[in-house]
Amino acid sequence: MKTLKPFLVFVSLFSLGTAYGQSDSKSKFTIEPIYGIETALVQYPEPARYKTRATYGARALYGVTLLSGELEYTTSTSRDDYPALDQVVTDKVERANLGLRSTISIGKYIGFYFRAGGSASQGKTTIKTAGVEETKDRALTINPYGGAGLQVAFASNLAINAGVTMIRNSESEYDAQYTLGLSARFGTVR
């Protein structure tokens, strides 16, 4: 976290420095359906290990280009079969992120964005051994997240986003989400 703070300070100062060059001062509401992959810590069966799995969800943004509030919901599920143990393990995680996003345009159609905030996650693991099912619920955890991405516009109200988000997990390590999304801006809110 110590290395993330100077980075966020730099991004904030850079964003404020470019604010005077921005002509986009009207607030916008944007919806982004997202799909991607994540590398996340899976607790069961022990020992804990990292697993790569698909994730999908949606993100809503409200604000100006330089600084927007964001709310995101994602869910991911993985399944592992262990035939030698006659066991099937299904792990499901739901996440809600609330934070800030700053987009810096480097041209009419291309921009980079930086995001940070808090992530609440909860999930459950279902272990089915020889036909007997056991469910282990994971407690709600709240951890910080930070990320960056690239946005490429191909119409006045549509853009493609590709980004990576690092989310701190219960082991004080980081899960990584790599996402691809489509932004659709809905008018100008005054």
How high is the pLDDT of residue 97? 94
How high is the pLDDT of residue 35? 87
Question: Tens digit of pLDDT for each residue in 42-51?
Answer: 777 777 788 8
Judge residue 116's burial from the number of C-beta atoms within 10 Å of its C-beta, 0-12 exposed, 13-18 middle, 19 or more buried: buried
* Residue from 69, 90, 91, 102 nearest 175 by CA: 91
Which residue is associated with the tokens 């079969």?
Answer: 81
For the chain, residues with pLDDT lower than 70 are: 1-25, 170, 185-190
CA pair distance 104, 93, nearest whole angstrom = 31
How high is the pLDDT of residue 11? 42
Q: Domain spans of the chain?
A: 4-189
4-189 classified as CATH 2.40.160.20: yes
The structure's pTM equals 0.76
How high is the pLDDT of residue 150? 92
The DSSP-derived string for 115-162 is EEEEEEEEEEEEEEETTEEEEEEEEEEEEEEEEEEEEEESSSSEEEEE
User: Residue 130 region, left (φ>0) first, then alpha (ψ -120 to 50), else beta?
Assistant: left
